[in-house]
Structure 1
Amino acid sequence: MLAKTVLAALLISSALGVGSAFAGPAAGLARPLRSAPPSQFITATKFTLAPFAFVRFCKDNSGSCDAGRGDAEVTLTPALRAELLRINSTVNRTIIAQNDDDGDDVWAQDVTAGDCEDFALTKRHQLIKAGWPTRSLRIAVAKTRAGEGHAVLVVRTSEGDLVLDNRSSAVRAWNQTDLKWIKIQSGDNPRLWYDI
């Protein structure tokens, strides 16, 4: 009797064009309306100023700031996922976390000690050396839950924008982090930055 009642309710709601809020054996047939899931990719809105320390980094390391090459999105195979995890974990272990001594923010890559942007730039550099396309690798600036400025590497993949953060060896989707996003590089031209 219950099955006939459920089926009748589903048929009536379907004919009227309304979703069923009925939870039961047939609940999978009519799904309740939900809000759209958050995007897998960061949405850049408008041009903004690059961090001043990054501008200085490009002046001293122009090759690292050349126009992007290759695909804007990497098809993430199991081998590439393993490489991404390995490089993230290795850089996190080998660089000693240390803030800039005199308060003057200096961005650098391939260092033995440094702060968040140095980790991000080193990961980007290591991935480029491993053959990853530069267009898929972008530095982003955000704030942590504690309100501190923070920089990370964002990798655009077939599974969405993934974040390589020096605070964790896990690689997470951008919308599954505790970060409040501020700005991100252009994949086509790393010297250009966008608001998020």
Structure 2
Amino acid sequence: MSQNPTPSFEDPAGTWNRRFDQDDYLFGIEPNEWLREQAHHWRAGQRILSVADGEGRNSVWLAGQGLQVDAFDIAEIGVAKARRLAASRGVAVDFTVADCDGFPWPQATYDGVAAIFVQFADPALRARLFANMAASLKPGGVLVLLGYTPRQLVYRTGGPPLASHLYTEAMLREAFAEMDLLTLREYDAEVAEGTGHRGRSALIGLVARRRQ
């Protein structure tokens, strides 16, 4: 995430296109570790949505696990790189260029939703996004989410420099109160994801299941 909030939030598509417009992958090509650890909640053949998927590292890895993956991102340059990564790995992902409000959220469709470091959203957009993610899950579907906590403002190793965009345990409990929380854990870890996320980081991970 950009360390300069103003241009990012005024022109998010342009900001992310500029950040992704390089030969290297900004956040690397390996999946996020929390996602890797929690993917056992899904079975091969199930349908998964990767939210704000960037350059494809998470969606492509999920497809490599035998999952049927949809993914979207606001930046067309990021999505183009994601398509190249999928082709290089020999997997299929249904990619869409869209922002979080513009994506045509299907209702009760997905067995899983992956939302990794989706922290560009202000509180109003975040509320809509979280509601759409929950509603897009089938009954029994599982959400895997990871974000930064406000203590990340001290580390400054990734993420937006605005406390309002960061996650707390209370916020996540309230946002997903209608779901069954399987895991909610706040922790520090060393993150090494390309040049975009690197160093000691203040994290919070959630796994929640839509009620039957």
> TM-score normalised to the size of structure 1?
0.27
Normalising by structure 2, report the TM-score: 0.25
Query: Looking at both structures, which has the greater relative contact order when contacts are Cα pairs under 8 Å and sequence separation is at least 6?
Result: 1
Q: Greater strand share, 1 or 2?
A: 2
Larger Rg belongs to: 1
